[in-house]
Structure 1
Amino acid sequence: MVEAGRHAARGDASTRVDDTAPAGLAATLARLRGRSRATLRDRSRRVRAVGGIALQAGLAAALSWLVAHQVLQISQPVFAPISAVSTLAASVGQRLRRTVELIIGVTVGVLIGDLLLLVIGTGWWQLALIVVLAIVVALFLAGSAAAVIQAGATAVLICTLSPSVRDLEIPRFLDALIGGAVALLVTAVLLPLNPLRVLNRAARPALDLLSDQLDATAGALADQDAAPARAARAELRQNKDEVKALVEATQGAREASTLSPLHWHERHGPVGRYAEAAAPIDRSMRNSGTLIRRAVSLIEDGEPVPEPMPRAVAELAEAVRLMKRQFAAGDEPTRARERALRAVCAAGDAYREGVGFSGAVVVAQVRTTASDLLVATGLTQGVANRLVRRAFGEMRPPPAARG
């Protein structure tokens, strides 16, 4: 009887496991499908982001080979397309500098290789000495990895091929010059990138991250629940990639609007305004991080949360969203400025209703972040500070904090 009961119990248990197994498997499969879709989206986004650069690289490689081979009659112009692709592989905004670095590196490698070969001859130790000197001189003159690599590689070619290949130096120099020049021609004239599109693509993740975490913090303050604010704090700490991408995009936009005649008119318009916004956006993210950390402390310590305080943080989030939309449209970000000042007004109301120690820091960071956003929209720091002080209102001491 007891044994039968045990068997029944084991049967029930196995039934329960069998019943739950399909559900667990379904959940696992659903997670895998979701991850696969996310991966496909990420890969598609990467392809779209670099698709224009891939087209530029292909065109520049073909044109540089044609110019070197057909026009200058270089029999094997291998290094012209390599130089072109190397130039275009540089971060957008660094291509003119990369071209100069390539030419410096090749020149150093050719000069040092030729001069030392005449004095010390060829051999393994001569190769080592020439490469070391070429790299040291390139590092002294240019201080970049591209110049160092080109100098070292060119020195190796001169040392190893010059005894068997005549007149290698001039074609090698011309290859680098042609490749870099054609890459710049493609970038500036034939297939120029739209600088405003470059900026929008780079700024969107940073601004979305900032607005989302400010929204989460406003909700945490309204509900007096520290968990969402802690999560927002952790998310905002991982913003280095977004900020780096935005800074690089501003360099690229400046380069595109400087080199390309099609975009010269944008240098002092939307592109110029957008490019100037990178630094204050970075500051606003750091100041928002302090705001969120103090919001967590405020909730955990049970300090008072005046009704206008969550509203102030939510208004900041909306100001960021409006700035993103107006920048993307190429409009003057007047609505974003108005919303940032509304955040400051709400922060002033919260301060006068009564806040504790961490609450006062949250209020101060709302003011500071709003000032950063105003500067990002194109105002000077002095004008932004005056507007913030006026919007905040009277600075009389708050009532004694409750709790």
Structure 2
Amino acid sequence: MAKLRRRVEDNLWPVVQQAVAAALSWWIADDLIDHHVPLFAPIATLVALNTPLGGRGTNTVRVLVGVISGVVVGQLAFTLLGHGAVTVGVAVLCALLVALVLDGRRITMAQAAVGAVICVAAGQQAGVDRVLDALIGGAVALVFSQLLFPVHPLALLRKAESTTLSGLADALGLTAREMDAGDEERTSRTWDEVRTVYTLLDELG
């Protein structure tokens, strides 16, 4: 229960930010721009902000790069080959390769592939709408991550350090208790704790 409470407390504020930002993206696309179905604007915002606090701005740029490159590739494939399974396969392959060259991150590649599929499946206007939605969602995500709620690097580092040290202390304490216990009393909890420390060290890095 303590770990659950700590997890909720650590992530509640970013989750609230994502919800408000998604609603704002929808409102901008639906009311201000009068988008027909502003579906992808809040989705782009959520994907961009759904990453650790230190990387939300970079993640937003990756989403935009992936969407735009995927739409361009999908549009070319649709123009040259029309609809069909072969066109989807070619568009996705080319979009993934372009994203791999541009960035190589999974989020960029996924967004590029999705953009290409949407273009082939729904035509040119859908691709244009997807780019517009991505720009709206990305702009909202950047405003939230860089202007309204920027990350303070030193505070983020101190938090990661204290969390890692706490995890190391827990793992060492459990290891000491396990070593004092008899063979029949030992459990597999020690390895579970150590695996958690690996995750904390990765986040600290």
User: 1:113 maps to what in 2?
Assistant: 74
How much has 1:170 moved relative to structure 2? Answer: 2.2
How much has 1:53 moved relative to structure 2? Answer: 0.9
Q: How large is the Cα RMSD of the aligned pairs?
A: 2.8
| TM-score between both structures, scaled by the size of structure 2 | 0.81
Q: Where does structure 2 lack aligned partners over 5 or more consecutive residues?
A: 181-189
- Counterpart of 2:97 (choices 136, 142, 146) is 136
- Counterpart of 2:34 (choices 67, 70, 73) is 73
- The CA distance in 1 between the partners of 2:20 and 2:119, in whole Å, is 29
Q: Where does structure 1 lack aligned partners over 5 or more consecutive residues?
A: 1-39, 221-226, 229-233, 248-403
User: 1:8 maps to what in 2?
Assistant: none
User: 1:204 maps to what in 2?
Assistant: 162
Aligned residue pairs: how many?
Answer: 193
User: 1:44 maps to what in 2?
Assistant: 5
Asked if structure 1 preserves the Cα contact closer than 8 Å seen for 2:49 and 2:60, the reply is no
What does the per-residue CA deviation read over 1:84-103, in whole Å, with 9 as the maximum and x for residues that have no partner? 11111122222122111111
- The CA distance in 1 between the partners of 2:99 and 2:198, in whole Å, is 31
Asked if structure 2 preserves the Cα contact closer than 8 Å seen for 1:105 and 1:148, the reply is yes
Q: What does 1:208-223 correspond to in 2, within 5 Å?
A: 208-209=166-167
User: 1:59 maps to what in 2?
Assistant: 20
What does the per-residue CA deviation read over 1:17-54, in whole Å, with 9 as the maximum and x for residues that have no partner? xxxxxxxxxxxxxxxxxxxxxxx111111101110110
- The CA distance in 2 between the partners of 1:213 and 1:121, in whole Å, is 58
Instruction: Please state if 1:100 is matched with 2:61.
Output: yes
- The CA distance in 1 between the partners of 2:138 and 2:14, in whole Å, is 15
Q: What does 1:273-312 correspond to in 2, within 5 Å?
A: none
How much has 1:181 moved relative to structure 2? Answer: 1.6
What does the per-residue CA deviation read over 1:349-396, in whole Å, with 9 as the maximum and x for residues that have no partner? xxxxxxxxxxxxxxxxxxxxxxxxxxxxxxxxxxxxxxxxxxxxxxxx
Instruction: Please state if 1:168 is matched with 2:148.
Output: no
Asked if structure 1 preserves the Cα contact closer than 8 Å seen for 2:57 and 2:146, the reply is no
Asked if structure 2 preserves the Cα contact closer than 8 Å seen for 1:56 and 1:187, the reply is no
User: 2:43 maps to what in 1?
Assistant: 82
What does the per-residue CA deviation read over 1:122-156, in whole Å, with 9 as the maximum and x for residues that have no partner? 21211111111111111111101111111111111
User: 1:182 maps to what in 2?
Assistant: 140
AA aligned to 1:52 is W
State the identity as a percent.
34
- The CA distance in 2 between the partners of 1:150 and 1:209, in whole Å, is 35
Asked if structure 2 preserves the Cα contact closer than 8 Å seen for 1:84 and 1:179, the reply is yes
